[in-house]
Amino acid sequence: QSVLTQPPSVSAAPGQKVTISCSGSSSNIGNNYVYWYQQFPGTAPKLLIYDNNKRPSGIPDRFSGSKSGTSATLGITGLQTGDEADYYCGTWDSSLIAVLFGGGTKLTVL
């Protein structure tokens, strides 16, 4: 059971928008930056969003991040079949002195 809670799966049609939530507490999301990672089967994770809402170079603006209180959200617009992957949120926990990951969300583009 992860300290950060994500829905196990989400789905939407091509071209549509989807959001993936990540819920935590004041010791982690509430007072630290949130990151989002994308992972395709059999490959290493890739950083999608850092510092709550910033995109590394090369990440399309279809991907966005936001944070409010102790929750964060990853948004993906203009869904493509190539976006089918697992998505993980991550942050630092100031009480545990540890990096936390959410349990991951599998995105299906129908």
Partner 1 sequence: EVQLVESGGGLVQPGGSLRLSCAASGFPFTNYWMSWVRQAPGKGLEWMANINQDGGVKYYVESVKGRFTISRDNAKNALYLQMISLRAEDTAVYYCARIGYSSSCMDVWGQGTTVTVTS
Residues that bind partner 1 (CB under 8 A): 2, 32-33, 35, 37, 39, 43-47, 50-51, 54, 56, 86, 88, 90-92, 96-104
State how far the alpha carbon of 102 is from the alpha carbons of 2, 79, 81, 89, in Å.
6, 22, 23, 5
The CB-of-26 to partner 1 minimum distance in angstroms stands at 17
Q: Which is nearer to partner 1, 43 or 81 (CB)?
A: 43
Kindly state the smallest distance separating residue 45's Cβ from partner 1, in Å.
6
State the minimum distance, in angstroms, from the CB of residue 79 to partner 1.
Answer: 22
Contact 20, 87 (CB under 8 A): yes
* Between 39 and 77, CB nearer to partner 1: 39
- Listed residue (94, 92, 54) closest to 74, CA to CA: 54
Residue closer to partner 1 by CB (options 63, 92) is 92
User: In this structure, what are the phi and psi dihedrals at residue 85, rounded to the nearest 5 degrees?
Assistant: -170, 180
By three-state DSSP, how is residue 56 classified? coil
